[in-house]
């Protein structure tokens, strides 16, 4: 089954482990979020692409939930001792990747080419595609002002309520090479259990990506990131409550109007009907281990088969 998955960082990356295990890696294409990319210490960091890279390469730190296993922090300690920019936590092994990426970008290679090269070096068999090679960045409007995603999320600990989300550069952003083909060739399109506003939203903000999903001839299945109306981690529930008026399946589905056929929700969120003719499918969505991830991926495939 050829699946193309839209994904944010950590939660999406865990879900992708299940998809790759069920579908085989070379049948899976991943369209990753770049809205939270950031320049730190002169380096181009793509946190969501990297979470996916590290998860699929088996080098992610499972306990910490982000970054690389066996990580050390000596470069950043040295930066801090010298009064440099140390608010964004970059480990030593992680830094190595950012150095390579930044140098290749500096040579004029597009992010998609660089990401493909990193993915191959790390042994990935799936295609990992940034949504776009163009500069697209997520900004949030809050009562305290407008912030870039990472400034709000990391530096301010995402404590400010979000009144609106903007994706600068989205209107003129072209899908990266391979993205439209991956959507057109897929037998199944999946939206990972990532934050609809800051992880999936920036991908869907690229006009040609949204249009390709709107005109799909295969099922599109989203997995809700909420369990019992609560985010497993992060601010998705607070954002939904404020921006969509609630944290139920209906509000999650409303984020993907016209784009999905099925919303996979947790047992704790059972819903009988959803707006826009979206079919709710109940499963267990907490991805505690490999088995749970596989079960969730299989539930997605079954749900797609049922609407096909």
Residue selected from 38, 69, 79, 298 as contacting a second copy according to rule CB under 8 A: 79
Query: Interface residues for a second copy in 34-73 (CB under 8 A)?
Result: 41-43, 71-72
User: Rounded distance, CA 300 to CA 287, Å?
Assistant: 14
How many CB atoms are located within 10 Å of the residue 20 CB?
24
Strands 28-32 and 3-7 come out as parallel
Site string for a second copy, 88-117 (x = CB under 8 A): ---xxxxxxx-xx-xx--x----------x
Count of chain residues binding a second copy (CB under 8 A):
32
| The only residue of 65, 74, 164, 306 in contact with a second copy, by rule CB under 8 A | 74
Residue with smaller CB distance to a second copy, 95 or 182: 95
Least Å distance, CB 90 to a second copy, is: 9
Distance CA 174, CA 169 (A): 10
DSSP state of 169: T
Q: Is 79 helix (H, G, I), strand (E, B) or coil?
A: helix
At its nearest, how many Å lie between a second copy and the CB of residue 138? 23
Residue 78 or 172 having the CB closest to a second copy: 78
Identify residues 120-139 at the interface with a second copy (CB under 8 A).
Answer: 121-122
| Of 68 and 293, CB closest to a second copy | 68
Pairing of strands 262-266, 279-283: parallel
* Candidate list 63, 83, 108, 272; residue touching a second copy; CB under 8 A: 83
Closer to a second copy by CB, 84 or 228: give it. Answer: 84
Burial class (CB in 10 A: 0-12, 13-18, 19+), 67: buried
By CB under 8 A, residue 157 contacts a second copy: no
Could you give the 3-state DSSP secondary structure of residue 95? Answer: helix
CB 260 within 8 A of CB 191: yes
Question: Closest approach of Cβ 85 to a second copy, in Å?
Answer: 7
Nearest to 132 by CA among 173, 180, 73, 87: 173
**Please, are residues 223 and 264 in contact by the beta-carbon 8 Å criterion?**
yes
**Least distance in Å: CB of 76 to a second copy?**
7
Distances 17 to 106, 128, 141, 194, 296 between C-alpha atoms, Å = 31, 13, 33, 14, 11
Token pair of 50, please? 């990297």
Pick the closer one to a second copy by CB: 74 or 146.
Answer: 74
Give every CB contact of residue 89 below 8 A, 6+ residues apart in sequence: 67, 73, 76, 154
Nearest distance from C-beta of residue 87 to a second copy, angstroms: 13
Residue 34 C-beta: closest distance to a second copy, Å: 19
Please check whether residue 88 is in contact with residue 38, taking contact to mean a CB–CB distance below 8 angstroms: yes
Min dist CB 94 to a second copy, Å, is: 7
Q: How far is the CB of 125 from a second copy (least distance, A)?
A: 17
Task: Pick the closer one to a second copy by CB: 82 or 288.
Answer: 82
Alpha carbon distances (Å) from 285 to 193, 240, 259, 292:
9, 18, 21, 8
Min separation Cβ 145 and a second copy, Å:
24
Cβ distance to a second copy smaller for residue 62 or 107? 107
Q: Which stretch binds a second copy (CB under 8 A): 25-33, 80-88, 252-260, 292-300?
A: 80-88
The total of other beta-carbon atoms located within 10 Å of residue 257's CB is: 10
Q: Which residues bind a second copy (CB under 8 A)?
A: 41-43, 71-72, 74-79, 81-85, 91-97, 99-100, 102-103, 106, 117-118, 121-122
């Amino acid at each position: 089954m050829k699946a193309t998955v839209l994904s944010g960082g950590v939660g999406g990356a865990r879900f992708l482990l299940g998809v790759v295990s069920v579908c085989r890696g070379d049948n899976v294409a991943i369209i990753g979020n770049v809205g939270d990319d950031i320049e730190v210490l002169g380096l181009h960091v793509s946190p969501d692409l990297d979470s996916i890279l590290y998860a699929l390469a088996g080098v992610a730190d499972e306990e910490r939930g982000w970054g690389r296993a066996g990580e050390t922090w000596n470069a950043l300690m040295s930066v801090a001792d010298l009064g440099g920019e140390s608010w964004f936590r970059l480990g030593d092994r992680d830094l190595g990747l950012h150095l390579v990426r930044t140098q290749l970008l500096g040579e004029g290679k597009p992010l998609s080419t660089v990401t493909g090269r990193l993915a191959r070096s790390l042994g990935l068999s799936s295609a990992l595609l940034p949504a776009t090679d163009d500069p697209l960045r997520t900004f949030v409007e809050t009562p305290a002002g407008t912030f870039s995603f990472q400034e709000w999320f990391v530096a301010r600990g995402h404590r400010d309520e979000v009144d609106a989300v903007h994706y600068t550069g989205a209107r003129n952003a072209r899908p990266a090479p391979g993205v439209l083909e991956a959507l057109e060739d897929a037998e199944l399109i999946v939206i990972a259990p990532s934050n609809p506003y800051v992880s999936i939203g920036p991908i869907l903000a690229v006009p040609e990506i949204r249009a390709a999903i709107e005109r799909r001839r295969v099922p599109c299945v989203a997995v809700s990131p909420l369990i019992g109306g609560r985010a497993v981690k992060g601010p998705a529930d607070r954002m939904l409550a404020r921006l969509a008026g609630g944290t139920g399946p209906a509000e999650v589905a409303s984020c993907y109007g016209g784009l999905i056929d099925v919303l996979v929700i947790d047992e704790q969120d059972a819903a009988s009907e959803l707006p826009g003719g979206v079919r709710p499918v109940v499963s267990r969505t907490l991805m505690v281990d490999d088995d749970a991830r596989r079960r969730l991926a299989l539930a997605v495939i079954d749900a797609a088969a049922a609407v096909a």
